[in-house]
Structure 1
Amino acid sequence: MSLKLRHRLGLLGSIVCLGTVGVAQSAQADDYTELLDILRAKGSLTRGEYNGLLAHHLHRTHTAPDVQQSSYRKSPSGRSRSSRNANYGDSSLDAPDVTTIAAASAARRAAADAEASARSAQSTLFRAQHDYDPASIVRVKPYVAGKGVTIQAGQIDINLSGFINGYYTFNGAGGGSPVAGGVSTGSTGFDSSAVRNGLLPGGLILKLNTTQDGIDLGAVFGMYPGINNADVGTFNANSGGSPVGLGTAGLDFRQVYMTAGTKDLGTIKIGRDIALFAADAILNDATLLSVGSTGSNANPANTSLGRIGVGYVYTDWLPQITYISPKWHGLQGSIGVMTPLDEFNYAGGGRSAVSSQHSSPMVQGKVTYDATIEGFTARFWSSFLIQHQQSLTSNALSDNSKHSAMVEAGDVGMKLTKGPFEGVAYYYYGSGLGTTGLFFDGVATNGRKRNSEGYYVQGAYKILPRLKIVGSYGVSNLYSAAGEVYDPLMVRRNESEVGALYYNLTDWMTIVGEYAHTKSDSHGPNKEDDSTISAGAMMTF
């Protein structure tokens, strides 16, 4: 039923109600018929409606008990209307006046305007639905703290996230004698101060995701700039810095990769990203958000060591083609082929064999399992690494010896979380793996593999909703190879203890205070140690 029709029926009902009101004063008897005349003249009543209402009114007025006593009344025009004279039975009821008529007319106009507005809005909606193109819509998705800003441009999600950190770090040299391949710098005998990055540099990560032909596609660009001067060397942006005027900070472009897959079949990753072996060790390390062992504080690099070399071997960021399976009841697996890396003489002085020839790739794999056990949220993981090191050379091996070694390594770890408590335990073992970095001092000069192992344990507890205390201890051991000539300066053990406080000032900013003690022991009598106090903040968005 249209608005206009409903309005007219309401108006007719009001008139009928007026007509059926009892007898009124005789001076007001013809106001009802005057109202009918006005409405008929304005076109609000058809001729049939007008005649019907008038006849009904005249019938009631002629049958009223006091109609014969009603006085004669002239209309404003002077025309006699005695034949249509009527009285209202209840003198307390006023006859309709000009205000009532105007209100009815205004209501009728408002109803007509509303109906026209509704038709216009409906027409606009139909046009919008017809012209709607999802590919042309740009909107910002709801912000989630720590997950960056996501803009949806049609069918593409564009996510921008990142972090910045800076710490004042004081390193106190504990003294001792140099250890070749050790991570402590205490034997220098000099204290040092710096404002530097922690284990993480700064970061700016751009992610693009979409779905085409039922395939989920993604691209990631991860840029990691430091705040200290760069002095690019063997380790590129991670080489020791250059505390000299007119320097510039370094940029570590760690991530450049693409993904393609489905929820049922899994995902293929192609490009440069964090490796699989020992990745969970560093990602669950509390010093990732602080400093840990400095490595060198006098000329700080893009990053500190954290717990690298004192509990695990650095996973690294490698060119790779990796398959990641769907998750099945909390279980997920990954396997990838990666660019092989050289054996590297990190200790210096010709103490380890080196290589630079690779006819086969490095292979890495990982399995993770997520579960809830006795109220604990738990993650378990295990990963492995295999690489054939060919054409090993050293001061004891000729360049054409064709000596080779198959490097193998594996690890296991777990993380348990319940309420304010969080605990991590990790262990690794390798043959030819080396220590601190992949294949650092992994093969002796005689071409035989050195075995290595290490572990760390870590506990964290939120003593207040925003304040967390963390303590950890870790060790990395490097053993002599079979038949290796005894070297008293060669590193045998690196270890550290770390205690830290983390205060979440806001969702973005965390304030950090930390103490770390690092010690290196050789196969002989040499030892050195240092202590580091750091204070600063990290901002993530």
Structure 2
Amino acid sequence: MASGSASLAFPEDARADDYSELLDILKAKGSLTQGEYRGLLAHHMQHVHEAAAASSRAPQYMPTRHTAASTSTHTQMRTALGQQVEPPGQIGIGGGGMDPDYVLAQAQQAAASAQASAASAESTWLAAQHSMGLGGGLSFVRMEKYEAGKGLTFKAGPIDINLSGFINGFYTYNSPAGGMPVAGGVSTGSSGFDSSALRNGLLPAGLILKLKTTQNGIDLAAVMGMYPGIDNAKNGAFNANTGGSPVGLGTAGIDFRQVYVTAGNKKWGTFKIGRDLGIFGGDAILDDATLLSVGSTGSNSAPGNTSLGRIGVGYVYADWIPQISYQSPTIKGFQGTIGILQPLDEFDFSGDDANGNAYSASSTQHSSPMIQGKVTYDFKIGGLSARIWASFLTQHQQDLSRNEMTMASSSVLIDGAPHTLSTLTSTAVPVVPGEKHGVTAEAGEIGTKLTYGPAQFVGYYYRGSGLGTTGLFFDGVASNGRKRASEGYYVQMMYNFTKKFKLVGSYGVSNLYQAPGENDPDLVRRNESEVGAAYYKMTDWLNLVAEYAHTSSAAHGPYKESDNSASGGMILLF
């Protein structure tokens, strides 16, 4: 009976795992971290041991010799209960009956111990509820297991809070190879001066906050992305992306380019509203390896927030545009996206000719939004992973105008005699006198990304009418109001020699053709570049980068220019 007596005397030992099973379930579901689990379990076991110690200190009942009176009393009790009367003085199995007073005392002691254990479990569970924000307690915040490249994720009740970002810096040496300036070209070859700069690459720095939750079966997310550069900012048409100002007392620019919300689910698809990367051209830049390096500098003597990478030398920049879009669920690898976006102005990027007249038309009127759409298909064949995408863009450009030099005459008095003074001024005039002329810009693209083992290939092509080159609607319409055709492509090969070291080579071209009736020999005809880069992953966060890039621009006439740049630096992503 020794083991049976121990169970009666210390019932909390048998119950010590009851509450721990509840904690095991909470930990398995992700409601508790390992540290929280251990703390709550230790708190519970402390109460259990305290109850056990109190029970062991309680007076134990010791059976006494039976007198005739007590024997008579016992006999009467057991007879009343309908139990068999055993001879007095015999205790234990085969030796007679157990003393009723002793059994009653043991039962009372077991009940007290069980009550103490239950009270301990209830106390610990209430503490757990309070810690996890249940039952009106304070919110409980914990961190998810960190995965490299996916940022830091915290859970605050039903809300996931993710912080991610990157910081980069490069020393870039640019050497012009000579030539004559090309209107709308991206090469700096005609500058005649070597330049050194400490700058950002195609990416600035970034700090991105994402909030996610599910309410009433709807997955909700809010995203805010801040992208500061390391160089001095200079106000201009492109804001933080305008060429910089390397002058003392300058400050860096902040590019708050991402502000949007999404709502939907995997069954019905997702809606997005806010400012984010455009649909057309988005995959082209995200798959561009120069996103993690420099590529074409654009300007190196006064660097802005970013370099060009392959912008204008393989694709047109997708840009960050206010939009309302819908993305469908993925069905057998296919997914579609359609959206209306803020219409953008037609922009004279190439500037004015020698006579002060604009090469390209401009516009600021928009009665309808820009429309963009895309279809993607993801699939695997054996060890090959592939994505194919195709997208389109269309926007109506209204009330086109062009800058034109006009002669203005005024009469002034000189030494008391009237004289006529003539001055040249730049004036915006309709591209078709007396008419509010407009055009519809259109473009399409197709691309693929193939990954097989350590090798990766990207191929991309676009073509547009009124789309322009480098930026959306840059030089897309000639000064006579006619649309210019444009096209471009890039090919890229990447090979991972080890888990830490990889090489990348790429070549890209952007072509801009003259409009019918146009003859502007100084206007850019072709921008192209070749890029080779080496990447070494020192840690999960830190990558070292070394790169060489050759960029050239050619006009429709005889003018050409080219430059070479070498860059070295690092980029940290978390």
TM range, smaller chain: 0.7 to 0.9
- In the alignment, what sits opposite 1:173? 176
> How big is the shift at 1:54?
9.7
26, 40, 43: which one pairs with 2:61? Answer: 43
Q: How does 1:88-487 map to 2 (within 5 A)?
A: 118-128=117-127, 133-134=133-134, 136-349=139-352, 350-394=358-402, 395=404, 397-398=431-432, 400-484=434-518, 486-487=519-520
Number of residue pairs the alignment of both structures matches = 459
- In the alignment, what sits opposite 1:23? none
> How big is the shift at 1:51?
2.1
> How big is the shift at 1:534?
0.3
Counterpart residue type for residue 539 of structure 2: T
Distance 2:391 2:319 in 1: 14
The SS at the match of 1:182 is coil
Distance 1:232 1:355 in 2: 21
Counterpart residue type for residue 354 of structure 1: S
**Residues 278 and 320 of structure 2 are in contact (CA less than 8 Å); yes or no, is this contact kept in structure 1?**
yes
The SS at the match of 1:52 is coil
Describe the shift of the 1:481–1:47 C-alpha distance in structure 2 as closer, same or farther (beyond 3 A): farther
Return the TM-score normalized by structure 2: 0.76
Counterpart residue type for residue 193 of structure 1: S
**Residues 4 and 111 of structure 1 are in contact (CA less than 8 Å); yes or no, is this contact kept in structure 2?**
no
> How big is the shift at 1:353?
0.9
- Spell out, residue by residue over 1:276-297, the C-alpha distance to the aligned partner (whole angstroms, 9 max, x if none): 0010000000000000000000
Counterpart residue type for residue 540 of structure 2: D
- Spell out, residue by residue over 1:332-390, the C-alpha distance to the aligned partner (whole angstroms, 9 max, x if none): 11111011011111111100111111101000001111100242110111111000011
Counterpart residue type for residue 526 of structure 1: Y
Distance 2:168 2:436 in 1: 47
**Residues 380 and 415 of structure 1 are in contact (CA less than 8 Å); yes or no, is this contact kept in structure 2?**
yes
- Spell out, residue by residue over 1:215-256, the C-alpha distance to the aligned partner (whole angstroms, 9 max, x if none): 111111110000000001010000000010000000001011
- In the alignment, what sits opposite 2:14? none
**Residues 393 and 399 of structure 1 are in contact (CA less than 8 Å); yes or no, is this contact kept in structure 2?**
no
**Residues 287 and 306 of structure 1 are in contact (CA less than 8 Å); yes or no, is this contact kept in structure 2?**
yes
**Residues 514 and 533 of structure 1 are in contact (CA less than 8 Å); yes or no, is this contact kept in structure 2?**
yes
> How big is the shift at 1:398?
4.7
Counterpart residue type for residue 380 of structure 2: T
> How big is the shift at 1:190?
0.5
**Residues 391 and 400 of structure 1 are in contact (CA less than 8 Å); yes or no, is this contact kept in structure 2?**
no
**Is residue 536 of structure 2 the alignment partner of residue 503 of structure 1?**
yes
Query: What's the Cα RMSD here?
Result: 2.7
Q: Which moved more, 1:142-151 or 1:396-405?
A: 396-405
Distance 2:501 2:344 in 1: 41
Q: Which moved more, 1:46-55 or 1:430-439?
A: 46-55
**Residues 150 and 158 of structure 1 are in contact (CA less than 8 Å); yes or no, is this contact kept in structure 2?**
yes
Q: Which moved more, 1:212-221 or 1:179-188?
A: 212-221
Distance 2:284 2:225 in 1: 20
Distance 1:121 1:386 in 2: 69
% identical equivalent positions: 62
Counterpart residue type for residue 493 of structure 1: R
Distance 1:232 1:342 in 2: 19
The SS at the match of 2:90 is helix
Describe the shift of the 1:56–1:520 C-alpha distance in structure 2 as closer, same or farther (beyond 3 A): closer
**Residues 184 and 529 of structure 1 are in contact (CA less than 8 Å); yes or no, is this contact kept in structure 2?**
yes
Structure 2 gap segments, 5+ residues each = 11-58, 67-85, 97-108, 353-357, 405-429
Rg comparison, structure with higher value: 1
**Residues 146 and 152 of structure 2 are in contact (CA less than 8 Å); yes or no, is this contact kept in structure 1?**
yes
Structure 1 gap segments, 5+ residues each = 11-40, 59-109
- Spell out, residue by residue over 1:82-137, the C-alpha distance to the aligned partner (whole angstroms, 9 max, x if none): xxxxxxxxxxxxxxxxxxxxxxxxxxxx9999867644432324545776645822
Counterpart residue type for residue 194 of structure 1: A
**Is residue 567 of structure 2 the alignment partner of residue 534 of structure 1?**
yes
The SS at the match of 1:260 is strand
Describe the shift of the 1:399–1:51 C-alpha distance in structure 2 as closer, same or farther (beyond 3 A): farther
Distance 2:484 2:217 in 1: 49
The SS at the match of 1:282 is helix
> How big is the shift at 1:452?
0.3
493, 505, 522: which one pairs with 1:489? Answer: 522
- In the alignment, what sits opposite 2:546? 513
